[in-house]
Amino acid sequence: MIESESLLLQAKSISHNYEDGVDQVSVLRAISLSLHQSETLAITGVSGSGKTTLLNILAGYLKPSFGEVYYKGQLLSDMTAKQVSEYRNRAIGFIYQRHYMVRELTVIENVALPLMIQGGYTLVDAYCKAAEVLSAVDLLEHIHFYANQISGGQRQRVSVARALVTDPDIVLADEPTGSLDPKNSEQLMRLLLNATQTRGTTLIIVTHDRDVAAQCERFLEL
Interval 56-111: pLDDT, tens: 999 999 999 999 999 999 999 999 999 999 999 899 999 987 778 899 999 999 99
**Residue 193, pLDDT score:** 92
SS (HEC) of the chain:
CCHHHHCCEEEEEEEEEEEECCEEEEEEEEEEEEECCCCEEEEECCCCCCHHHHHHHHCCCCCCCEEEEEECCEEHHHCCHHHHHHHHHHHEEEECCCCCCCCCCCHHHHHHHHHHHHCCCCHHHHHHHHHHHHHHCCCHHHCCCCHHHCCHHHHHHHHHHHHHCCCCCEEEEECCCCCCCHHHHHHHHHHHHHHHHHCCCEEEEECCCHHHHHCCCEEEEC
Q: What is the pTM of this model?
A: 0.90
The ranges of the chain with pLDDT < 70 are 1-6
**Residue 145, pLDDT score:** 97
**Residue 18, pLDDT score:** 86
Q: Which CATH superfamily is domain 3-221 in?
A: P-loop containing nucleotide triphosphate hydrolases (3.40.50.300)
